[in-house]
């Protein structure tokens, strides 16, 4: 039975469908999303699709880790009801016409600025996946803070405000390193160095009341560079719209970092207050 028929049937029986979209190489961060999804829905769907449309760098795409056997075992273990693993043709095959999504300033700042076309690609894939899965709730990770905002915007742009978004806090290694599929591309020495992203964010949180934003950001740059990272950005932004702040005052803010060690690009963020 095709996935959409099976899910139609479940919905007719009054069951809610929760959806966890991923690119595979699953880790405990993905599992945390799935755990909440399972808790809240009788039907949990996880997708694995390494979406070519969202990679602005071809080697990043071809080197993206693939651990399908392990992923399947992990999903079975976690009690995921349905794994959806579409081929590129099913997503973008005959008759597919890519849309342009008006994402406003989200597309020109932070990840949008440093990865041209990335969020259009994310929207293309998520739009297609939502059309097929038609979930009641979508489970996303805070790890990709800006992506969560983009997907919220996508729901508005495509008339899907009825879909609830649940944002799950970032799962970290004991060292503080945010779990990420890309961590598989780090050797043990690089993995140790990568903790500097978390340390920098923690430094911001500990010192935001006493140190000015420009000083914090400069310190952050220094920490990252002295650990061998090349830095795309270190920013402190308003949680509600990601506008960059120069003074914190009473604003609720999030610190965000994107930096590469060798050719492995990592991102992380932390709510500061």
Binding site for ligand AMP (CB under 6 A): 22-23, 29-30, 32-33, 140-141, 143-144, 168, 170-171, 178-181
Tell me, yes or no, if 30 is annotated catalytic: yes
Query: Could you give the 3-state DSSP secondary structure of residue 103?
Result: coil
If 0-12 CB within 10 Å is exposed, 13-18 middle and 19+ buried, where does residue 173 land?
middle
Q: Considering the complex, what minimum distance in angstroms separates the CB of residue 122 from ligand AMP? A: 9
Residue 143 or 153: which CB sits closer to ligand AMP?
Answer: 143
Residue 154 or 179: which CB sits closer to ligand AMP?
Answer: 179
Q: Considering the complex, what minimum distance in angstroms separates the CB of residue 203 from ligand AMP? A: 20
Q: Considering the complex, what minimum distance in angstroms separates the CB of residue 178 from ligand AMP? A: 5
User: Which is catalytic among the residues 27, 30, 105, 114?
Assistant: 30
Q: Considering the complex, what minimum distance in angstroms separates the CB of residue 125 from ligand AMP? A: 10
Residue 9 or 57: which CB sits closer to ligand AMP?
Answer: 57
At residue 165, what are phi and psi to the nearest 5 degrees? -110, 130
Residue 44 or 181: which CB sits closer to ligand AMP?
Answer: 181
Residue 50 or 103: which CB sits closer to ligand AMP?
Answer: 50
- Residue 126: name the closest of 47, 56, 11, 61 by CA: 47
- Residue 238: name the closest of 101, 106, 116, 140 by CA: 106
Q: Considering the complex, what minimum distance in angstroms separates the CB of residue 184 from ligand AMP? A: 11
* Structure tokens, 141: 């990770």
Among left, alpha and beta (phi > 0; psi -120 to 50; other), residue 228 is left
Gap between the Cα atoms of 10 and 16, Å rounded: 8
Gap between the Cα atoms of 271 and 101, Å rounded: 27
> Who contacts 106 (Cβ-Cβ below 8 Å, separation ≥6)?
112, 119, 146, 149, 150, 153, 242
Catalytic residues: 30
């Amino acid at each position: 039975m095709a996935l959409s028929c099976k899910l139609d049937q479940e919905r007719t029986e009054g069951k809610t469908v929760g959806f966890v979209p991923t690119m595979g190489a699953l880790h405990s961060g993905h599992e945390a999303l799935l755990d909440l999804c399972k808790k809240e829905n009788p039907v949990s769907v996880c997708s694995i699709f390494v979406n070519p449309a969202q990679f602005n760098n071809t080697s990043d795409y071809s080197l993206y880790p693939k651990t399908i056997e392990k992923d399947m075992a992990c999903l079975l273990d976690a009690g995921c009801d349905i794994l959806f693993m579409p081929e590129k043709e099913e997503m973008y095959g005959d008759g597919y016409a890519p849309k342009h999504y008006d994402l406003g300033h989200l597309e020109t700042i932070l990840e949008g600025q440093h990865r041209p076309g990335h969020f259009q690609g994310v929207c293309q894939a998520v739009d297609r996946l939502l059309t097929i899965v038609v979930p009641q709730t979508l489970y996303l990770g805070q790890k990709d803070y800006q992506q969560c905002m983009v997907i919220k915007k996508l729901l508005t742009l495509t008339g899907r405000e009825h879909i609830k978004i649940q944002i799950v806090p970032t799962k970290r290694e004991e060292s503080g390193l945010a779990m990420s599929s890309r961590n598989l591309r780090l050797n043990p020495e690089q993995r140790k160095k990568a903790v500097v992203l978390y340390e920098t964010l923690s430094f911001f949180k500990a010192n935001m009341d006493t140190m000015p934003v420009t000083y914090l950001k400069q310190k952050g740059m220094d920490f990252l560079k002295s650990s061998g990272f090349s830095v795309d950005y270190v920013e402190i932004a308003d949680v509600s719209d990601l506008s960059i702040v120069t003074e914190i005052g009473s604003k609720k803010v999030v610190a965000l970092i994107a930096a590469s060690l060798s050719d492995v690009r990592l991102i992380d963020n932390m709510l500061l207050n």
